[in-house]
Structure 1
Amino acid sequence: MTVENIESFSREQVFGILNRINFPLVDPNVLPEPTLENLRELQYRCVTSIPFETLSLRTTKARSVDISLEGIYDRIVNNRRGGWCFSLNRLGFELLRAIGYTVQFTLGRICDPTSDPMNYTGLTHRTTIVRFEDGSKYVFEMGFGCTFYYPIELKDGATIEYFGFKNRLVKAVHNKSEPHLLGNPAQELWMVEANQGEDKWVPGFVFSEQQFFDIDCELGNYYSCFSPKAPLHSAFWIMQGTLDGTYYQLMGKEMKIRTSSGTQERITFEREQDRLDALEKYFGIVLTKDELKYHDQKIE
């Protein structure tokens, strides 16, 4: 029998991540305790320090996202960049595991609520479930664009509120589910929804509590990088929350700065230099000479 080697971050790297997200350590040489309070602080710090971005697809020769631990650490910590779910949520998963949390990652599907009936992608989203000794479970999520600031309890109807925003979890079944074919019960999914005022809730993604493995993430990441049908295949996106609850969203030629009351400012870039200036001003990112060389979506 062969046993796969389990990759993990070194202790030094774990502290490197904590410093990268500006986590308020009580002692610089002691890891935080694996408590719910610290879980909340960890997610808050992650989503306000590390951007969700697709620049690896647009500004590198490889046109791909490296989701090896070495590649993730180098990009996010050493180079102070970001990533997408397969890299960001892997970093979060390994960080939590090193601290002492009981964690499992799972894969999910992105929802397209504009279609009727609603369309779902393949298994192109990775997320993390954390379990505590009392049996309670929470979703730790830092890789879904402008995601929620705090973990949400894995319970039907559970709601999280922050800075005027609301997200909730509800139970769902894939609308193309045919459990009767083999006589099995329908697979129950968890759906993450965002509130858009009054009682309007918009689906973001669905996932199950099924266990997946690293190879499944590699397949989903490969598809997301190279399939023209993948949602982010041609995207120039970068998003990040701030400590006070403001979201910065740069998508293509447009920049939005928004709060819970709606879009506060909208900027349209007419020149590439204007967009590069915004990358530096709002996200602290300056493209290297090589990145500019391989940049395939310059504004003419």
Structure 2
Amino acid sequence: MTVAVSQEQFTREQLFNILRHINYPLENPDELPKPTYETLRELEYRCVTSIPFETLSLRLTKAREVDITLQGIYDRIINQHRGGWCFSLNKLAYELLRGLGFTVQFTIARVCKPLNYGDPIRFQMLSHRVSIVRLKDGSKYLFDIGFGNTSFYPIPLKEGAVVEYFGHKRRMSKTVHNEAQPELLGNPPQQLWLMEEYLGEDKWVPCYAFTEDQFYEIDCEMGNFYTCHSPKSVFYSSFWCVQATLDGKIYMLLDKQFKIRTATGNVETIVFTKEQDRLDALEKYFGIVLTEEELKYHDQKIE
């Protein structure tokens, strides 16, 4: 049986518009970059420092949902100069990589980041889309621009691989499901790739885990629907906006708190008591000015 593959993809003009939007340094303005490791590395760096991770569609629209159609994603990010979350940002990345000639597959991960360091791993539902890129030499990399405080660069899919940037570190390791009972069916435990964040003092915290299994866009639609509409979703009632800077700072607007994490790990926190102060920060640090339509449906004003 032949499975139909979606022909939805960006046009050549849209690819160039995305590259210009993320300030990608094109050697030739009329030539798309080649699908090399250097291109892959520059793409992730430029994406995470140009496109915010944000949940504003859930707070500022009548629909209270994130549009993850390809045209909807393109319109919000490129035309409206906004952002999104994993199901939109990493779909944009996937189609950008595919359009540039990379061999890429998307998969869906289980978030398992604990509230406190040392807490046991607890896998959540399949709710985080990521991309896996395979280069011509056979090497594979995790490409993820949709996890908020995410990696600036692709992470090799090798156990123990570490990527360091501006004092931040991410590591790839392996784990198994903590509730796995493979002996019931006589199968070996399923190994998962585990992406970890470095906290300093030799402390690593797990963020999410995934396999290299094939998923389909309908799986992403289901995950996106849950994330938008389930009261159990961490984003269901959140006002979040996160973006990195070229020099390694990370701006995080989390409900009423605004945090600046520097490249050395220092965190400055401001707590807003007035809505106008939060709107000013949204414009100053993320370049987002809310429209009259968005202010009309804004459901989480501070005052």
TM tier relative to shorter chain: over 0.9
* Residue 82 (structure 1) aligned with residue 83 (structure 2): yes
* Residue 219 (structure 1) aligned with residue 225 (structure 2): no
Q: Using the TM superposition, name which of 263-272 and 154-163 deviates more.
A: 263-272
Question: Following the alignment from structure 1 to structure 2, what is the Cα–Cα distance between the partners of residues 22 and 68?
Answer: 24
Match in the other structure for 1:63? 64
Identity %: 63
RMSD: 1.2
Match in the other structure for 2:272? 269
Please state how far the C-alpha of 1:133 moved relative to its aligned partner: 1.7
Question: Following the alignment from structure 1 to structure 2, what is the Cα–Cα distance between the partners of residues 2 and 120?
Answer: 30
Aligned residue pairs: how many?
A: 300
- The one-letter amino acid paired with 2:26 is L
Deviations 1:4-49 (A, max 9, x none): 4421001110111001100000111100010001100000000000
Match in the other structure for 1:278? 281
Give the 3 Å change call, closer, same or farther, for CA 199–79 of structure 1 in structure 2.
same
Please state how far the C-alpha of 1:114 moved relative to its aligned partner: 3.4
Question: Following the alignment from structure 2 to structure 1, what is the Cα–Cα distance between the partners of residues 214 and 263?
Answer: 34
Question: Any idea what SS the aligned residue of 2:200 has?
Answer: coil
Question: Following the alignment from structure 1 to structure 2, what is the Cα–Cα distance between the partners of residues 264 and 119?
Answer: 27
Match in the other structure for 1:92? 93
Match in the other structure for 2:207? 204
Question: Any idea what SS the aligned residue of 2:233 has?
Answer: coil
Question: Following the alignment from structure 2 to structure 1, what is the Cα–Cα distance between the partners of residues 291 and 183?
Answer: 55
CA contact (8 A) 1:253 1:299 kept: yes
Please state how far the C-alpha of 1:235 moved relative to its aligned partner: 1.1
Q: In the TM superposition, what are the counterparts of 1:84-233 in structure 2 within 5 Å?
A: 84-114=85-115, 116-233=119-236
Question: Following the alignment from structure 2 to structure 1, what is the Cα–Cα distance between the partners of residues 267 and 277?
Answer: 19
Question: Following the alignment from structure 1 to structure 2, what is the Cα–Cα distance between the partners of residues 151 and 231?
Answer: 26
Please state how far the C-alpha of 1:296 moved relative to its aligned partner: 0.7
Question: Any idea what SS the aligned residue of 2:88 has?
Answer: helix
Question: Following the alignment from structure 2 to structure 1, what is the Cα–Cα distance between the partners of residues 48 and 302?
Answer: 28
Please state how far the C-alpha of 1:234 moved relative to its aligned partner: 1.3
TM-score (norm 1): 0.98
Deviations 1:176-231 (A, max 9, x none): 11211211111111111111112100111111100100000000000000001112
Please state how far the C-alpha of 1:2 moved relative to its aligned partner: 7.2
Q: Using the TM superposition, name which of 109-118 and 228-237 deviates more.
A: 109-118
- The one-letter amino acid paired with 1:250 is L
Q: Which sections of structure 2, spanning at least 5 residues, go unmatched?
A: none
Please state how far the C-alpha of 1:263 moved relative to its aligned partner: 3.4
Question: Following the alignment from structure 2 to structure 1, what is the Cα–Cα distance between the partners of residues 266 and 169?
Answer: 16
Deviations 1:225-281 (A, max 9, x none): 000111211111100000000000000000001113333421110100000000000
- The one-letter amino acid paired with 1:241 is A
Question: Following the alignment from structure 1 to structure 2, what is the Cα–Cα distance between the partners of residues 265 and 249?
Answer: 10
CA contact (8 A) 1:117 1:175 kept: no
The counterpart of 1:290, out of the listed 287, 290, 293, is 293
Q: In the TM superposition, what are the counterparts of 1:219-258 in structure 2 within 5 Å?
A: 219-258=222-261
- The one-letter amino acid paired with 1:177 is A
Question: Any idea what SS the aligned residue of 1:191 has?
Answer: strand
CA contact (8 A) 2:68 2:88 kept: yes
Q: Which sections of structure 1, spanning at least 5 residues, go unmatched?
A: none
